[in-house]
Structure 1
């Protein structure tokens, strides 16, 4: 079982790096519902080190653990201190991890405290900029291919639909692609559905010219929208969550 292999690798990381993993989830195509039988596993996790590491005067640069196990399994983790700092910036990547429906490991006592502050630090504007920039970059890559790539086009449409979700709902977008179809224009849904069917091995032919027209039209629309987006984001101090996590994991009193 792949889950057993993943949990074993996470345990190995804890032992080799002297850390405690407090959250581990699936990211990438498996979390978005776009996986095929040959898709790899992209595991993302948050970890915390012993208090002595944070109190040391040595400069800290190793706040990421990256461990490509093989071509089927890739693990990347962020130190909790780094993650909490990025959380205050409404980091879209971290918000996606917290939204994942595939959880391998979780200390709910800590993650519940993190999730409680998410609605207050969530920035529509920050996420909008991030996903619009991502969609444009992926579209340039898609156009360079001689043959249209289903994967690349889905990688354009996903952040594009995230932007539409942000515009209409003003909430954190669902990471599952099929949920994003709720905000997709009716006239293009059939072509997006054809991409999904083709990704899953069905013999269909999407109208890529129509998709290009839709994507370019959306870019123009979203560029106007971003100028009007206002934030309700609050500046919160998450130090208490970090201190609580240190106490809870290492059974100490600070």
Structure 2
């Protein structure tokens, strides 16, 4: 099924404007996001073709099947709770049956975790972006050779430098494990190439050292240590960095750079907004999507606050949320039995 099927078969129960426009934070370049709820035709619901979610190609229009919508509400999913809490001017369509799903059925102290957890993930993203911008990774990945060292007395010396200064070729080297030692090798050198040593690595993309058969009694040229953990960490960082480069929103990235930000300012704005909503839930037991502090939040988005200032704001909000939760009258979790009875009755009404 696609979105057109939902509309043609009158399966949509709820449709709202979501995202920045619903929060009162839209600007001239903001997209219009749509979220909604649909129900499956009876044969699909009772058959083997259950569909939990339908969206368009860009994922800015998303509809959740009624059961999935309720499931996420019971888990206090922030995005879904905000859909249910939509202001009247953001509701494009509401089937009368949806009036049975009210916000008070779902708000619970779970929101302290779900909202805060998501906010923490955004802070982690911001820290990750901060690290990536300030520590760019070269296009060419380092090789195993860059993490090998020659042992000289009580010190180590980079293998690449040692080879260069001694005018030696890595492919003429032979390595043999040193017994009972982790990543420590005896290095032998054959300038003639007659011994058939396999070299230290086969090619630049190698992730392991090569071992060779060495004739007994051959003198050791040096001892080599391989920093395996350092190489593995570099490979992870390299992969993460270039995946980020490939997937990043270039317009937003350059906007952050042009504003002098080494973090994703838009994500940080939504982090603070989420924490403020979490405090509102804990202290007042409700959700107000449209934020009264639009100017403050847009100042964060526009890069007018430093990373340190935003972190201080987030930490203060975390403390306020924790304090408010101590006296909150919200239940620990929603009454799932009551909600499921309502859901079953809604299904019965929809299917006749």
Q: Secondary structure at the match of 1:81?
A: helix
Q: 2:98: which partner in 1?
A: 111
254, 261, 268: which one pairs with 1:153? 268
Q: 1:216: which partner in 2?
A: 315
Structure 1 residue 127 displacement after superposition: 1.6
Counterpart contact for 1:114–1:241, Cα < 8 Å: no
Moved more, 146-155 or 33-42: 146-155
- Change in CA separation of 1:90 and 1:194 when aligned onto 2, cut-off 3 Å: closer
Q: Deviations over 1:16-71 (max 9, x none)?
A: 7x561111111111111111111112111111222122222x2x442211113x6x
Q: 1:95: which partner in 2?
A: 81
Q: TM-score, normalised by structure 1?
A: 0.71
Q: 2:30: which partner in 1?
A: 39
Counterpart contact for 2:76–2:114, Cα < 8 Å: no
Q: 1:187: which partner in 2?
A: none
Q: Deviations over 1:189-238 (max 9, x none)?
A: xxx84442474x7xx83354322222224335545665776643434022
Gaps of 5+ in 1: 1-8, 182-191, 248-254
More helix by share: 1
Counterpart contact for 1:129–1:226, Cα < 8 Å: no
* Separation in 1, partners of 2:347, 2:36: 16
Gaps of 5+ in 2: 134-260
- Change in CA separation of 1:219 and 1:242 when aligned onto 2, cut-off 3 Å: same
Q: 2:51: which partner in 1?
A: 62
* Separation in 1, partners of 2:297, 2:327: 32
18, 22, 30: which one pairs with 1:27? 18
Counterpart contact for 2:18–2:33, Cα < 8 Å: yes
Moved more, 38-47 or 208-217: 208-217
- Change in CA separation of 1:67 and 1:215 when aligned onto 2, cut-off 3 Å: same
- Change in CA separation of 1:95 and 1:140 when aligned onto 2, cut-off 3 Å: same
Structure 1 residue 128 displacement after superposition: 1.6
Q: Deviations over 1:161-181 (max 9, x none)?
A: 112112321x12211122xx4
Q: Secondary structure at the match of 1:124?
A: coil
- Superposed CA RMSD in Å reads 2.9
* Separation in 2, partners of 1:195, 1:95: 21
- Change in CA separation of 1:198 and 1:95 when aligned onto 2, cut-off 3 Å: closer
Q: How does 1:178-193 map to 2 (within 5 A)?
A: 178=292, 181=293, 193=295
Q: Is the counterpart of residue 175 in structure 1 residue 289 in structure 2?
A: yes
- Change in CA separation of 1:83 and 1:210 when aligned onto 2, cut-off 3 Å: closer
Counterpart contact for 1:21–1:47, Cα < 8 Å: yes
- Change in CA separation of 1:84 and 1:207 when aligned onto 2, cut-off 3 Å: closer
Q: 1:241: which partner in 2?
A: 346
* Separation in 2, partners of 1:222, 1:61: 38
Q: 2:124: which partner in 1?
A: 140
